[in-house]
Every structure is written in C-alpha cells, then in structure tokens.
Amino acid sequence: MRKVQFYGAISIDGYLATKDNRLDWLFQTPGANDAPTEAFMQQVDTAIMGRHTYEYTMEQTTDQLINPYNPATRNIVMTSQPQPGDERTQFTNSPVADIVQDLRLAPGRNIWIVGGAGVLMPLLAADLIDDLYIQIAPIILGTGIPLFTAVAHQQRFELVATNHYDQLAEVHFQRLPTE
C-alpha cells in the first residue's frame, strides 16, 4: 500500500507561511537547500495540495513543476471552485480523505501532502497520514498560516529520526497503529 506523507517546513511557532503566503523566511534559512528534498520527492508520484500552495508554487517556479525530481507527478489541487486541469494537474472539491483512501489502494509510489491545515487536518482526522516530515526553521513569525489546527481526538506518532541541516532541524514521525 502506498504511504501518505506530509513533507514541509514550519517556523518555531508552527507557521508554514506568512499571512500573505510568503516563504522567503524559509529560503533565507541556512541549510534549507541541504535538506534531502530530492530523495523524498523521487519516492512520490502524487502531490495533494490546496489552491494557495499550488498558485504560490506556480508563481515561484520557472519549470512549472510541483515535483521537479519526478516531472510525471500527478498534482491534485483541493479547491472550492474546480477548474479544468491538464495532463498533470486536477482541480477538485471532493473530500480529500475520500481521494486519499482511493489513491492508497491504487498502484503507484508514495503520496505527498503539500501545504497546510486545510489538506492535512482532514487526513489526520481520518487517520490517513503515515509519516510527518517536518522541518523547523529558527524563526518566530508571530502570525501566519498554521500547519495544525484543532483536532477532535489525540493521535500518537512515533519519532523515527531527527536531523539538522545547518540551521534547519528536521523531525520524522510515523503514525502508530490504532488499537
């Protein structure tokens, strides 16, 4: 079965972007380019993200690829207003948990959860996240877009690894089986 993995970075105070969706604070962090992003991205063939993450990425990249290390990656963009996509990108307002449940059973590589709480939290609530790779930059933003929001129940993960890349810390957690 395919793994569902969140991979992303946050500030010390838990924000993954500023209120205006900027990430310059992350790219200015020494070591941000040393993280094993390429190795992670080579293991995925599907990326699921919200519309803001998709639009920001398209604005910032010249190659117009969410995953430059696997250009064939299928992008699923969660939005309240779906639009026509293309051979790589699908826009949908279907429940993200339903999409992921179907994808987990289909053949393929791992599934990358990109972006924020709007995509991540319903998957956590449905117990569909296998791994959390969270990189922490040594900055307090004070406000911004949080990675996590309130949950209805506790969920326990196991710490698998900690790494640091100059000033960027990375923690890898795996979901513990439910009893």
pLDDT tops 80 at residue 171 = yes
Mean model confidence pLDDT for the chain = 92
Q: What is the pLDDT of residue 140?
A: 97
* Cα-to-chain-centroid distance, residue 15: 13
Given pLDDT bands bounded at 50, 70 and 90, which one contains residue 179? low
Given pLDDT bands bounded at 50, 70 and 90, which one contains residue 67? confident
Distance CA 175, CA 68 (A): 27
pTM for the model? 0.92
Distance CA 103, CA 105 (A): 5
Please write the tens of the pLDDT for every residue from 45-63.
999 999 988 888 888 777 7
Q: What is the mean pLDDT of residues 65-87?
A: 89
Q: Which of these, 1, 7, 11, lies nearest to 144 by C-alpha position?
A: 11
Q: Mean pLDDT: which of 15-29, 71-85, 131-145 is highest?
A: 131-145
* Cα-to-chain-centroid distance, residue 104: 16
Cα angle 97, 100, 159 (rounded to 5 degrees) comes to 90
Which residues does 172 contact at the CB level (< 8 Å), separation at least 6?
A: 131, 132, 133, 159, 160, 161, 162, 163
pLDDT tops 80 at residue 65 = no
Percent residues over pLDDT 70 in the chain: 98
pLDDT tops 70 at residue 120 = yes
Q: Which domains can be identified in the chain, with CATH numbers?
A: 2-148 (3.40.430.10)
29-33, 90-94, 122-126, 159-163: the lowest-pLDDT one: 29-33
3-state SS, residue 142: coil
